[in-house]
Amino acid sequence: MKKQLMTFTLGALLVTGLTLPASTPVEAATSYKVKVTTNILNVRTGPSTSYQKVGSAKLGQTFSYLGATGSWTKINYNGSTKYVSSTYVKKYSAPFLMPTKGTLTQGYGPASGKYGYTFHNGIDLAAAKGTPVQAAATGQVIVARNYGAYGNHVMISHTINGQAYTSVYAHMDRLNVVKGQTITKGANIGTVGNTGNSFGSHLHFEIHKDKYVYSSSTAANSVNPYTLF
């Protein structure tokens, strides 16, 4: 399969009138990110230092990987395809997965207070009832019950690169796990629902550093999930 994709990519270049040196391999894109490993990394329009520099990336920044040409890595840079030297990036695996497929209806951060809170400690993803929910990371189920405003909900404790986290999955329809169960990243833990204080089928998802701490007015120890996907 990889060989077929490589042939197609080269064919597409020839059709558009572009050519590559015979010794330049083109690698098919895969779905992961790369992280910058040097203080400042030049971003260019093509796979060589002869191409125009259009920006720079800082140590620790991550970008979606779009493929490779020779010793250059193709990345998504501000919504467009650009190139960086492969010497100064490495494959990066995001700590957490998106827990379900859905539409973001409320983000993380300050809220109006209409529903009794002035800070939204997670994200809301609208999806049809019964849509699968997956564990965002490997860990142990510490809560799996129907209780309070969260309705049917699951909490999972994780340790990632020495840091403890707790993830929360609320308003679910079905729960497919039990307290004490060890769960792997991406495993099904239940389905999207409309239980508890919920106004329409959706998943409310939170990530907390260390143990779960609730606050209706501040971030407390919660973090924006999008910074960890």
- Burial of 182 per CB tally in 10 Å (0-12, 13-18, 19+): exposed
- Residue 140 shares a structural domain with residue 161: yes
- Decide which of 92, 121, 144 is a domain's last residue: 92
Residue 27: CATH number of its domain: 2.30.30.40
- 31 plus 110 within the same structural domain: no
d(CA 193, CA 228): 24
Structural domain total, the chain: 2
What are the pLDDT digits (tens) for 120-145? 999 999 999 999 999 999 999 999 99
User: Is a pLDDT exceeding 90 seen at residue 222?
Assistant: yes
My answer on whether 115 and 174 are in the same domain is yes
Q: Do 88 and 112 reside in the same domain of the chain?
A: no
Residues 6+ apart with CB under 8 A from 68: 25, 26, 27, 74, 86
Domain boundary among 48, 69, 92: 92
* Statement to judge: residues 221 and 112 lie in one domain: yes
Check: CB of residue 208 under 8 Å from CB of residue 76.
Answer: no
Could you give the 3-state DSSP secondary structure of residue 143? strand
Closest CA to 186 of 104, 98, 101, 102: 98
How many other C-beta atoms are found inside a 10 Å radius of the C-beta of residue 221? 17
Asked if 66 and 92 count as a contact pair (C-beta separation under 8 A), the reply is no
Same-domain check for residues 81 and 164: no
Confidence (pTM): 0.70
Together in a domain, 107 and 128: yes
Mean model confidence pLDDT for the chain: 88
Note the pLDDT tens digit of each residue in 72-125. Answer: 999 999 999 999 999 999 988 889 999 999 999 999 999 999 989 999 999 999
Q: Do residue 124 and residue 209 come from a single domain?
A: yes
pLDDT band at 229 (very low <50, low <70, confident <90, very high): confident
Q: What is the pLDDT of residues 139-178, one digit of tens each?
A: 999 999 999 999 999 999 999 989 999 999 999 999 999 9
Contact by Cβ (8 Å): 60, 35 = yes
Is the pLDDT at 28 greater than 70, yes or no?
no
Q: Is 97 contained in some domain?
A: no
- In this structure, the answer to whether residues 211 and 109 fall within a common structural domain is yes
Range of the domain at 58: 2-92
Judge if 120 and 177 occupy the same domain: yes
First to last CA, the chain: 28
CATH number for the domain spanning 124: value is 2.70.70.10
Q: Is the pLDDT of residue 14 over 50?
A: no
Question: Residue 32 has what pLDDT?
Answer: 80
Is residue 198 in a domain?
yes
The answer to the question of residue 213 being in a domain is yes
The last residue of one of the domains, among 57, 92, 127, is 92
The pLDDT of residue 44: 98
Per-residue pLDDT at 31: 59
Is there a single domain that holds both residue 67 and residue 169?
no
Is residue 153 in some structural domain?
yes
